[in-house]
A and B are shown apart, each in its own frame.
Chain A
Amino acid sequence: MGLRALAVLLTLTLATILYLSRLEDFRIFVPGLAQGALMTLRITAAAAVLAVLAAITAGLLKLYGPAPLRWLAVAYIEVFRGTSALVQLFWLYFVLPGFGITIEAYTAAVIGIGLNIGAYGAEVVRGAVVSVARGQWEATVALNMTRAQALRRIILPQAFAAMIPPWGNLLIELLKTTALVSMITLGDLAFRAQQMNQTTMKTAQIFTLVLLVYLAMSLTVTLGMRLLERRAARGILHARAA
């Protein structure tokens, strides 16, 4: 979808949400859902930061780390990509206490989702770094740069542009995954929806509104990443399209 189409769709979605939230049938759900949406946004933002940090660390370690650290990175990536996000959340929240480590639901949610998406992101980082032309590396050697200098000044800025489109998809995945935290008792959008559904039984109204709110959030993320993509491609001759 083009930028303009996305903007139109987002406007339409927001307009529909605004319109519905004024109707008699929907109005009572607005405060609760707003609270839930706030929790969803908080978890999304915190987990996104953790995911990016984990992805860069694990991706670079898998490529350039010394042997034991490299194995650790590979193990992290395989374990978190190989098991379900929900299983990971349950493990952090219900199983870790059995080993004497008790963490809050919110912390478990951020760590679980952040590390899960970070594992997928690590492969994105690795792929983008590998896709930078060989000649760039050779040029840094010719200029007598150290490997760290070359990575920081030459390779990563170019890899960054190639990373943005796949990161856009991952952030949408992350946002959608946050719905799972309702199952470890956190009061996010999905949780509030279920709660209100049980007390009022106005199922169609609640879930329609919730779907629209998620849609608006996803479209905002997509739109933001597209703009970032444009910005990052500026000044790079051979920026690769997604």
Chain B
Amino acid sequence: MWDWAFTLEILPALARAAVITVEVTILGFLIALTLGLALAVCRIALPWTRLPISLLVELIRSTPLLIQIFFLYFVGPSFGLTLDAMTTGVLAVGVHYATYCSEVYRAGFESVPRGQWEASVALNLGRATTLRDVIIPQAIPPVVPALGNYLVALFKETPLLSAIAVLELMQTAKIIGSQTFRYTEPITLVGLFFLAMSLVSAWAIRRVEAGINRRYRR
């Protein structure tokens, strides 16, 4: 049932693929973090963007990531947007999670007391300066754990990229499976890898959360 020799044989290929999975995760999350912040700040700075942005967020959050990946990959070229599979995947994952992150940032902004805005007006600070130097530094630390949870969620969604043949962990496992007719070892190993990474990151997030609570207790 379980073949250890076969397991050892496929381990190097899976390890190489794991690097791609981690790459996709990091790049995608960077997009999610920055685009999410941009969306959240936009909603505050330009009130007229509030409706279109919340519509966009609702639209992206309400439809499956898999369909969005297909949309970007297959429909993109007809609008002159031809990207390779890896870029498409990173972009789709990043934009999808940017909408989740923007809601997290929004909660962070709302948790900053109104008095901080008023005090900044009293000190004659401009809106941009207020946001950059007063509001954002107070809004971000409390939401870091929530953002961390989305990092783990994004990481667990990367196997979807196997649908457009990005050579990440899942796709590699599928290829090994179809070549050798043995799915047991590759798929189980992929599962174990995700489990291990998720447990480690959950522990890391708890540590960070504890650290933040100690430093920023209001």
Q: Mark A residues whose CB is within 8 Å of B.
A: 1, 9, 78-79, 81-88, 90-91, 94-95, 98-99, 172, 175-180, 182-183, 190, 193-194, 197, 203-204, 207-208, 210-211, 214-215, 218-219, 222
CB atoms of B58 and A1 under 8 A apart: yes
List the A side residues contacting B63 at CB < 8 Å.
176, 211, 214-215, 218
Looking at the complex, which one of A1, A81, A95 makes contact with B198 (CB distance below 8 Å)? A81
List 14 additional A-B contacts (Cβ < 8 Å) besides A86-B160, A204-B78: A1-B58, A82-B195, A83-B156, A87-B191, A90-B173, A95-B188, A98-B1, A179-B66, A182-B66, A190-B66, A197-B70, A197-B74, A203-B78, A214-B62
Q: Mark B residues whose CB is within 8 Å of A.
A: 1, 54-55, 58-59, 61-68, 70-71, 74-75, 78, 156-160, 162-163, 170, 173-174, 177, 182-184, 187-188, 190-191, 194-195, 198-199, 202
Instruction: Kindly state the separation between the CA atoms of A189 and B80 in the bound complex, as whole angstroms.
Output: 26
Across the interface, name the chain B residue whose C-beta is closest to A205: B75
CB distance from B196 to the nearest CB of A (A): 8
A-B contact pairs, 26 of them (CB 8 A): A9-B55, A78-B199, A82-B198, A82-B199, A83-B156, A83-B198, A86-B159, A86-B160, A86-B162, A87-B190, A90-B173, A90-B187, A98-B1, A172-B62, A176-B63, A178-B64, A183-B162, A190-B67, A193-B67, A203-B74, A203-B75, A204-B75, A204-B78, A207-B74, A211-B63, A215-B63
Looking at the complex, which one of B61, B70, B71, B194 makes contact with A87 (CB distance below 8 Å)? B194
CB atoms of B156 and A95 under 8 A apart: no
List the A side residues contacting B177 at CB < 8 Å.
94
Q: Quick one: which of B65, B170, B195 has the most chain A CB within 10 A?
A: B195
CB distance from B51 to the nearest CB of A (A): 9
Looking at the complex, which one of B71, B157, B198, B202 makes contact with A207 (CB distance below 8 Å)? B71
Instruction: Kindly state the separation between the CA atoms of A180 and B194 in the bound complex, as whole angstroms.
Output: 17
List the A side residues contacting B194 at CB < 8 Å.
82-84, 87
Q: Quick one: which of A79, A83, A88, A94 has the most chain B CB within 10 A?
A: A83
Instruction: Kindly state the separation between the CA atoms of A172 and B58 in the bound complex, as whole angstroms.
Output: 11
Instruction: Kindly state the separation between the CA atoms of A193 and B202 in the bound complex, as whole angstroms.
Output: 36
CB distance from A207 to the nearest CB of B (A): 5
Q: Quick one: which of B55, B62, B157, B199 has the most chain A CB within 10 A?
A: B62
Instruction: Kindly state the separation between the CA atoms of A177 and B156 in the bound complex, as whole angstroms.
Output: 12
List the A side residues contacting B65 at CB < 8 Å.
176, 179
Given A82-B199, A218-B62, are A95 and B71 also a contact pair (CB < 8 Å)?
Answer: no
Instruction: Kindly state the separation between the CA atoms of A204 and B81 in the bound complex, as whole angstroms.
Output: 13
CB atoms of B170 and A86 under 8 A apart: yes
Given A1-B58, A78-B199, A215-B62, are A87 and B170 also a contact pair (CB < 8 Å)?
Answer: yes
CB atoms of A85 and B75 under 8 A apart: no
Instruction: Kindly state the separation between the CA atoms of A236 and B94 in the bound complex, as whole angstroms.
Output: 41
Instruction: Kindly state the separation between the CA atoms of A98 and B170 in the bound complex, as whole angstroms.
Output: 18
List the B side residues contacting A176 at CB < 8 Å.
62-65
List the A side residues contacting B170 at CB < 8 Å.
84, 86-87, 90
Instruction: Kindly state the separation between the CA atoms of A79 and B182 in the bound complex, as whole angstroms.
Output: 22
CB atoms of B187 and A179 under 8 A apart: no
List the B side residues contacting A194 at CB < 8 Å.
70
CB distance from A106 to the nearest CB of B (A): 18
CB atoms of A180 and B66 under 8 A apart: yes
CB atoms of B64 and A179 under 8 A apart: yes
